[in-house]
Amino acid sequence: MTKPTTITNFHMPRWSELPKFDLYLDQTVNILEKYLKNCIGNKEETIITKTMINNYVKQGLIKPPKKKKYNRIHIATLLVICILKQIYSINDISELITLATKTARINTAYNMFCDALEKAILYTFEGVEYTLPENSIFEQSLLKSAAQSFASKLYVEKTFLHK
């Protein structure tokens, strides 16, 4: 079975690649769609909407925007939410984000998520086991498992269900 090359080359923007300036809601939706369109869903599916973002603010999953503008923290958090909502409930995602930001600064936690996600996707589509060093801590194992869950779901969708 041939593997979709766009998936194995998927790149999550790192903290330093996220916009350094604040964005309005429409711009935020557009950039999230741009970053994730090759990984989640298909061309007809909407990854995120303004309503979804407003609901995440109301639920306390992300902080309210300042002067109707969203910053790097919002964008990074929304990217993580978009990925994880494919497999976890919003409450579960909230708990995972809380744990990650308790154990590392937001930029570090986000970059670690990006690394784990890219490895999980690549290794899953290459048929290679994704392992951690023996001295890994609980949070690293949890992060790897969450990324692997998404990668496994994506693999089934792309190779069997042709989504």
Residue 123 counted as domain residue: yes
Residue 2: the pLDDT is: 43
Angstrom distance (rounded) from CA 28 to CA 34? 10
Residue 76: the pLDDT is: 97
Query: CA distances (Å), 111 to each of 55, 114, 133, in order?
Result: 25, 5, 18
Query: CA distances (Å), 132 to each of 107, 114, 126, in order?
Result: 21, 15, 17
Residue 163 counted as domain residue: no
Residue 143 counted as domain residue: yes
Residue 76 counted as domain residue: yes
Number of domains the chain is built from: 1
Average pLDDT over residues 1-22: 81
User: Does residue 41 register a pLDDT over 80?
Assistant: no
Percent share of the chain, pLDDT over 70: 93
Average pLDDT over residues 112-126: 94
Residue 24 counted as domain residue: yes
Residue 108 counted as domain residue: yes
What is the rounded average pLDDT for all residues in the chain? 89
Q: What is the pTM of this model?
A: 0.90
Residue 111 counted as domain residue: yes
Residue 88: the pLDDT is: 95
Average pLDDT over residues 141-159: 91
Angstrom distance (rounded) from CA 162 to CA 159? 6
Angstrom distance (rounded) from CA 116 to CA 147? 6
Question: pLDDT digit string (tens) for 90-105?
Answer: 999 999 999 999 989 9
Reading the block at residue 71, the tokens are 């910053």
Average pLDDT over residues 140-146: 90
Reading the block at residue 52, the tokens are 């979804």
Residue span of the structural domain in which 111 resides: 5-10+19-158
Question: pLDDT digit string (tens) for 47-100?
Answer: 899 999 999 999 999 999 999 999 999 999 999 999 999 999 999 999 999 999
Residue 91 counted as domain residue: yes
Residue 43: the pLDDT is: 63
